[in-house]
Amino acid sequence: MTFPSSSTRFAAPFVSALGLIFSLSLAGCGTRTDGETADTKATAEAAAPVVVDTIKLKAMAMQRDSLKADSIAKKNGQLPGAILPGHRIIAFYGNIRSKGMGILGREPKEQMFRKFEGVLKEWQAADPSIPVQAALHNVTITAQGSPGKDGKWRLMNSKATIEEVISWAREHKCILFLDVQPGHSTLQAELPKLEQYLKQPDIHLGIDPEFSLSTMPGVRPNQKIGTLDAKDVNFTVNFLARIVSENKLPPKVLTVHRFTRKMITNYKNIKLDPRVQIVMHMDGHGEPTLKKDSYHDYIQTEPVQYTGFKLFYEYDARPKPHHIMTPTEVLTQLTPKPLYIQYQ
């Protein structure tokens, strides 16, 4: 991922427990028989149950549930089980079926995890005041170089691949992010495919505007940088919040990749919900000064909630004498200090 150039609303301390419950039940049925007279039909129609707008009712129930969540967050400082800001998430990114997408998948599994253990120790040593939370970040719906049968230019990992990366994460005590590059599809169409996995408490979500091209007909992935609007982020937040409430889960973490202004439009309209912790993630590569400028311009000066920063094993160190920023450099040179760090 490249860029052309170049949260402060932190919540209170971490609390551990269970999340909230969301429930909605609708009842009512009517019957009618053949051979009704006009009078009996009118009587039956008058007594028939009113048609229920289930979508509106669900929205009202979600609003009430969100207000309840807000009240708990205000009283306790954070919803039970929240990862941020009580931890710093350190993630290895990629796709376990691809050597070209990132460190996750580039090296043999055990070699990669040995490297990851060393990185986790470096971060813990750089800031002993906050525990690290290991994470794998697997691109699960991936933008493609061909349109596919439905012309959407994206492909989802197989069930076997998703289950394998889940087992990798749990074997090494990592949380897992499933990342979505929607191509010419939409988040509204793609996210429901992941719901069965997101119902699990240790699985979180990432969305990638760079590969969101539904508003750019005829553009192939990698030809132009894509975009998402605040309304797309809000849809994702509401989608995750519902899953959290319905399944009594701790808050989900949502990472939103960003390294240009147009990748996220109308950021001020993004709505916060205590059931979802939003990380705006500086996703660009290059030499340190350029990366720091991008973090300042697109993350620090347009704050949403929490912040993230990506480091590239293959690209940040080229050309020489550029180098991959160390944990100490990241923590001392970026404001605010990012709570999500991703290695690709």
52: in domain? no
- Domain hosting 181: range is 88-343
pLDDT of residue 320: 78
> pLDDT of the chain along its 344 residues, tens only?
443 333 333 333 333 333 333 333 333 333 323 333 333 333 444 344 445 565 555 555 556 666 777 676 766 678 999 999 999 999 999 999 999 999 999 999 999 999 999 999 999 999 999 999 999 999 999 999 999 999 999 999 999 999 999 999 999 999 999 999 999 999 999 999 999 999 999 999 999 999 999 999 999 999 999 999 999 999 999 999 999 999 999 999 999 999 999 999 999 999 999 999 999 999 988 889 999 999 999 999 999 999 999 999 988 988 777 889 999 999 999 999 999 999 99
Among 178, 193, 169, smallest CA distance to 254 is for: 178
Q: What is the CATH number of the domain that holds 190?
A: 3.20.20
105: in domain? yes
End-to-end CA distance of the chain: 10
55: in domain? no
What are the start-end ranges of the H helices in 127-174?
159-171
pLDDT of residue 37: 34
Q: Is the peptide bond before 251 cis (omega within 30 degrees of 0)?
A: no
Looking at the structure of the chain, the number of domains it has is: 1
Beta strands in 129-170 (DSSP E): 132-143, 154-156
- Please, are residues 102 and 93 in contact by the beta-carbon 8 Å criterion? yes
74: in domain? no
3-state secondary structure of 232: helix
**Spatial distance between the Cα atoms of 230 and 316, rounded to a whole number of angstroms:** 29
pTM for the structure as a whole? 0.81
pLDDT of residue 318: 81
pLDDT of residue 317: 82
Among 308, 309, 267, 302, smallest CA distance to 286 is for: 309
Cα distances from 41 to residues 28, 31, 33, 50, 315, in angstroms, run 19, 11, 9, 16, 74
5: in domain? no
67: in domain? no
